[in-house]
Amino acid sequence: MSNLLSSSIGRKLLMSLSGLFLITFLVVHLSINLLLLIPDGGEAFNVAANFMALPLIKFGLQPVLALGFIVHIAYGAILTAKNNKARGNNKYASGNNTKEVMWASKNMAVLGVTILAFLAVHMVDYWIPLQITHAVGSVTIGGVEMHDTYSLVAANFQNPLKVVLYVIGSLGLAVHLTHGFWSAFQTLGASNTIWRKRWTVIGTVFAWVVSLGFCVIAIAMYACGSCC
Ligand code: HEM
């Protein structure tokens, strides 16, 4: 087990498995967030969002999600440091993979830090008021009192700077996923010359659909708040 955590292939394996786990989370997150666009005064979104407050989710799934982020970020930082050290001054060495390696070790780290900065703001916007301080209004739906998460999101997106920040964070996510998606399958051995191309296309489409989905939500909520 300690070999797995410290060997180069073990680290790459943990990066790809945690990355695919976080990708699954993003699909669920975007699916719930798309409910924001239903013109029902936020009912469907509030019911789905309050599912996150159930004890099973709060104490069961959330720690697993946090662990997924920690593993991905920690091993990403270790891999980047090792790659930079291994390359040393020879940053422009030629070879089959040189462009890819440089892209992965340089831009993936920069994009990762951008997403991390976005996530820090995002947690202050939502996770802290919803899960820790409960500094959020409440609403009763079907006789059940719950957090009015919809109003929190709607108020947040009345600030154009926040909309810009969410768009930048989502675009950073798109580029990060464009590379990370096929790379994960390559590490897992589910790739050859043909499948490498296929994973690249699937990953690129997936990355932009998910990321533009988040952008559309932020922009639509802003537009709706300004005109409705
Ligand atoms: C339109 C864009 C987005 C909106 C409106 C949004 C909304 C929310 C809300 C309301 C929560 C709180 C859920 C709760 O605890 O009850 C949340 C949590 C979270 N969001 Fe987002 N989100 C957006 C984009 C993103 C993106 C792009 C990422 C990832 C890069 C992300 C990652 C997370 C994470 C990690 C959590 C914590 C999950 C948990 O509760 O454990 N979100 N988001």
Q: What is the pLDDT of residue 228?
A: 55
- Alpha-carbon distance of 90 to 199, in angstroms, equals 30
Residue 97 has pLDDT above 60, yes or no: no
pLDDT tens string 21-79: 999 999 999 999 999 999 999 999 999 998 877 888 878 888 999 999 999 999 888 88
Q: What is the mean pLDDT of residues 198-207?
A: 94
pLDDT tens string 138-165: 999 999 999 999 999 999 999 999 999 9
CA 38 – ligand 1 centroid, Å: 18
* Ligand 1, atom nearest to 166 Cα: 2
CA 1 – ligand 1 centroid, Å: 32
Residue 29, Cβ neighbours under 10 Å: how many? 16
Residue 95 has pLDDT above 70, yes or no: no
> CB neighbours of 71 closer than 8 A, spacing ≥ 6?
14, 18
> CB neighbours of 107 closer than 8 A, spacing ≥ 6?
175, 179
Residue 96 has pLDDT above 50, yes or no: no
CA 197 – ligand 1 centroid, Å: 31
- Cβ of residue 157 lying under 6 Å from some atom of ligand 1: no
Residue 99 has pLDDT above 80, yes or no: no
Domains of the chain: total:
1
Q: Choose the residue to mutate in 34, 118, 127, 128 for probing ligand 1, maximizing ligand atoms within 8 Å of C-beta.
A: 127
Residue 125 has pLDDT above 60, yes or no: yes
How buried is residue 224: exposed, middle or buried, by Cβ count under 10 Å (0-12/13-18/19+)? Answer: middle
**Residue 20 pLDDT class (50, 70, 90 cuts):** very high
- Cβ of residue 21 lying under 6 Å from some atom of ligand 1: no
Tell me the pLDDT of the chain averaged across its residues.
Answer: 88
Q: What is the pLDDT of residue 216?
A: 98
Check which CATH number belongs to the domain holding 91 and give it. 1.20.1300.10
Residue 93 has pLDDT above 60, yes or no: no
Domain that holds residue 160: 2-227
- Cβ of residue 174 lying under 6 Å from some atom of ligand 1: no
Q: What is the mean pLDDT of residues 182-206?
A: 90
- Alpha-carbon distance of 19 to 32, in angstroms, equals 20
Q: Are 40 and 49 in contact, with CB atoms under 8 Å apart?
A: no
> What pTM was computed for the model?
0.89
Residue 92 has pLDDT above 70, yes or no: no
Q: What is the pLDDT of residue 133?
A: 93
CA 122 – ligand 1 centroid, Å: 7
CA 29 – ligand 1 centroid, Å: 7
- Cβ of residue 208 lying under 6 Å from some atom of ligand 1: no
